[in-house]
Amino acid sequence: MDQRKMSSTVFFIPAAREDGDQVLAEKAAEVFLRTGLTEQIDDKSFVAMKIHFGEKGNTGFIKPQWLMDIIRQLRKKTSRVFLTDSNTLYVGKRSNSVEHLHLAWDHGFTPDIVGVPLIIADGLKGGDDGEVEVNLKRVKSAKVGSIFLHSDAMVCLSHFTGHGLSGFGATIKNLGMGCASRAGKLDQHSEVHPWVNPKYCQNCGICFDHCPAEAIITKEESAFILEEKCISCGECLVVCNAGAVKFRWDSDTVRFQEKMSEYAYSLMKALKGKISFLNFLLKITKDCDCMSEDEPAVVEDIGILGSVDPVALDQASVDLVIERSGKDILKVGYDVDWSVQLQHGAEIGLGSRDYQLIKL
């Protein structure tokens, strides 16, 4: 089906945090079942539940209790269900699997609550990835966490928020950026290689030992990265305890959003479309869940949406947020044209901006 030539179905159920965990779990499962993913999996299927476990200090992330009925429905079909996310490019509690999993436990994603394993998709330090050839405008080959390439199906669970580079973050961001390995995240964020600020470098040699390309040398009593050898894996950023490794973050929001959409396309291609998407429009904050602080909601809770079309789902979510707030609060938070990710997604066949909203 060519999503560019027809409208897509988006299911919507009104919901609020005041409903309580059990009611929200029931509503999320009702939306999920309408997407039809359970009909595409069997008892041999490995099903990844892609989620953001929330940064330390953040409280806006999707709560594990809200997922329990979805997990029960999936486990009726297969025991091979697991929750997953990839490591971050920036240094923090989510930049390696060990601390990432501890943080997930702190946020309630424990075996006694969720009843399924947690697996970090790109290995111990974000280097376990594979490539998906897409040959699109910005991305020729997408670098994504290897776990996703070994899965048979996926449920992509996204918390709708504002975002500084893309205007908003929801399904396309969770799929494109959230499933990318460290090298893939760097590919989307930056057009150039990392560099070392000698003012902060302690010349300790840790980055030398961890650079897989042997691209780091000593120059004037400081580490120095050889651009011709650097593969932009981001390993040096993670291991540097002095904060000396820097990236020239890409300020071109158009290029960023287009790359993000193309990375999302790579996951659709790799999983042969066996993905369902849910957006939780609950505690919508100005910044994404990577912010390590408790931000207030910028609009009252709206509900839960689901679809098999990521573009239609994000478009419907944006429309509901703007309708509920009475203005484009996404541009109030950041002066970014958030429509780029949607329009480019429609152009490359990721999905359709035209949709039919079915209220449950």
In the structure, what pLDDT confidence band is assigned to residue 3 with cuts at 50, 70 and 90?
very low
CATH code of domain 3-187+252-359 = 3.40.50.11440
What's this model's pTM, rounded to 2 decimal places?
0.87
Q: From start to end of 57-179, where are the E strands? A: 81-85, 118-120, 129-133, 141-145, 153-159, 161-163, 167-169
CATH class of 192-246: alpha beta
Tokens in use for 311? 């573009």
Tell me how far CA of residue 96 lies from CA of 10, 102, 105, 264, in angstroms: 35, 10, 14, 23
Which residues lie closer than 8 Å to 33 by C-beta, 6 or more apart? 73
Residue 38 has pLDDT above 80, yes or no: yes
Residues 57-87 have pLDDT tens digits of 888 999 999 999 999 999 999 999 999 999 9
| Whether the domain at 3-187+252-359 and the domain at 192-246 fall into the same CATH topology | no
* Domain boundaries of the chain, sorted by first residue: 3-187+252-359, 192-246
- Whether 186 has a pLDDT exceeding 90, the answer reads no
List, in sequence order, every beta strand (DSSP E) within 4-117: 8-14, 47-50, 81-85
What is the per-residue pLDDT across 281-325, written as a single tens digit (0 to 9) for each? 999 998 888 877 788 999 999 999 999 999 999 999 999 999 999
Residue indicated by tokens 């979805």: 70
Mean pLDDT value of segment 320-349: 93
**Predicted confidence (pLDDT) per residue in 228-253, tens digit:** 888 767 778 767 889 898 876 666 88
Q: What is the pLDDT of residue 2?
A: 45
At residue 192, the pLDDT reads: 64
The confidence band for 92, taking pLDDT boundaries of 50, 70 and 90, is confident
Cα 104 from Cα 141, distance rounded (Å)? 30
**pLDDT tens digits, one per residue of 95-139:** 899 999 999 999 999 999 999 999 999 999 888 999 999 999 999
